[in-house]
Amino acid sequence: MKLLILKPGREKSLLRRHPWIFSGAVARVQGDPGPGDTVAVRAGGGEFLAWAAYSPASQIRARVWSWDEGTPVDGDLLRARMRLAIAARERLLLPEESDALRLVHGESDALPGVVVDRYGEVAVLQVLNAGAERWRGELADAVRELTGCACVYERSDADVRGLEGLAVRSGLLHGTLPAAGAQMREHGIVYGVDVAAGHKTGFYLDQRDNRKRVGALARGRDVLNCFCYTGGFTLNALAGGANSVLSVDSSAEALALARDNLQRNDLEAARAEWQDADVFKQLRVLRDQGRSFDLIVLDPPKFAPTAAFVEKAARGYKDINLLALKLLRPDGLLASFSCSGGVSPDLFQKIVAGAALDAGVDASIVGRFEGAADHPVLLSFPEGEYLKGLLLRRA
């Protein structure tokens, strides 16, 4: 029997159903568990708490698979979890206008370290920790069977694998990628998705509803879309009747795909301008050129993956928000996002308020953004709430 025994009193977070066990809470392990092995977690007094995946290289020493002593952890359990996660999406999301969604969202679907995204007929599996890696073969089979997708691709190449002592891995698991690349539809807009080399699993699905909402605000406006990636907010703004959209990103590959995506949708290319540039610098260039906009989107990459990076992240957010607020015309809108897990919604609002103050701009919050319904946040796992945004109106 492989056992992980906690220090006295350290069972509190588990009793609140938080699924992580940090190394500092562990008194001792017995039975010599290897990476990804299932251990029985017991309180100092011997009481059973959970079955968890052991991860000797990580500060997060174990992650809970199951709270029920009578439920064995095996491929069948994980497959049942995946089936539930997929069924929940079917009841939550109206598929008519979208065929791309996150089917499995890690801890929030009781599958720590497992992500499955679907882009049309292509499913992408991400295996992020030692526990998930232990069951990788079973997970891959389950994705193939439960999604029925013609192609299953693996993108287990996120940085966090390094913290688990795992090497990166990506490639085909089943079938072949469509010759013209993966293609998806979201709110009626068509995108090509680079599942082999794009960011994350290829697309930022968490912003689905926010893209639509911003698009609906774009009519007649001159729009600036910063960190545009493959054009999500840009295309929604154009479809929503924007007067013009200037899109900025520092990735040439992303911009090339964004331009392709514009063509895929038969949207008027004349209203779109693209700039391959660093947003931090380009906002200053635009300021010096005297340009201004009615609607600005700031959707930067994760500046603070964990709390340790918060100060640096705060400076970054403040800088771009300050500059964007200055580029905004009176009555203009700023949709400003943060996907940093280490920056809480509260802190983000404080940073943006500081930016407005320093910019000498009066602005109010007229809306808030969060992740889409296929990115649920388990109540006992607030870390899952990483995406937040503010919709501001400049007076």
**Residues making contact with ligand SAH (CB under 6 A):** 204, 207, 211, 227, 229-230, 232-233, 248-251, 254, 278-280, 299-301
State which residue, 100 or 173, has the beta carbon closest to ligand SAH: 100
Q: Is 2 exposed, middle or buried (0-12, 13-18, 19+ CB in 10 A)?
A: middle
Which residue has tokens 């190449």?
Answer: 157
Pairing of strands 244-249, 222-226: parallel
Asked about 339 being catalytic, the answer comes back as yes
CB of 380 to ligand SAH, least distance (A): 28
Sign of the C-alpha dihedral, residues 122, 123, 127, 128? positive
Q: Which of 339, 340, 342, 338 is nearest to 352 (CA)?
A: 338
Q: Which of 341, 353, 361 is nearest to 390 (CA)?
A: 353
CB of 248 to ligand SAH, least distance (A): 6
CB of 198 to ligand SAH, least distance (A): 9
Spatial neighbors of 175 by CB under 8 A, at least 6 apart, are 149, 150, 151, 152
Q: How far apart are CA 347 and CA 365, in angstroms?
A: 15
In the Cβ-directed half-sphere of 50, how many Cα atoms lie within 13 Å? 22
What is the rounded (10 degree) CA torsion for 18, 20, 23, 28?
80
User: What does the DSSP assignment read for 141-180?
Assistant: HHHHHHH--SEEEEEE--THHHHTT---EEEEEES---TT
State which residue, 147 or 282, has the beta carbon closest to ligand SAH: 282
Phi, psi of 242 (to 5 degrees): -60, 150
Q: Is 150 exposed, middle or buried (0-12, 13-18, 19+ CB in 10 A)?
A: middle
CB of 57 to ligand SAH, least distance (A): 28
CB of 249 to ligand SAH, least distance (A): 4
Which residue has tokens 């807009």?
Answer: 189
CB of 205 to ligand SAH, least distance (A): 9
CB of 26 to ligand SAH, least distance (A): 36
Pairing of strands 189-193, 182-186: antiparallel
What tokens appear for 232 in the block? Answer: 């999500």
State which residue, 251 or 265, has the beta carbon closest to ligand SAH: 251
Whether the CB-CB separation of 380 and 17 falls below 8 Å is answered with yes
Q: Is 134 exposed, middle or buried (0-12, 13-18, 19+ CB in 10 A)?
A: buried
State which residue, 161 or 208, has the beta carbon closest to ligand SAH: 208
State which residue, 166 or 304, has the beta carbon closest to ligand SAH: 304
CB of 258 to ligand SAH, least distance (A): 9
Q: How far apart are CA 212 and CA 186, in angstroms?
A: 9
Q: Which of 149, 226, 228, 339 is catalytic?
A: 339
Phi, psi of 233 (to 5 degrees): -70, -35
* Catalytic residue ranges: 339
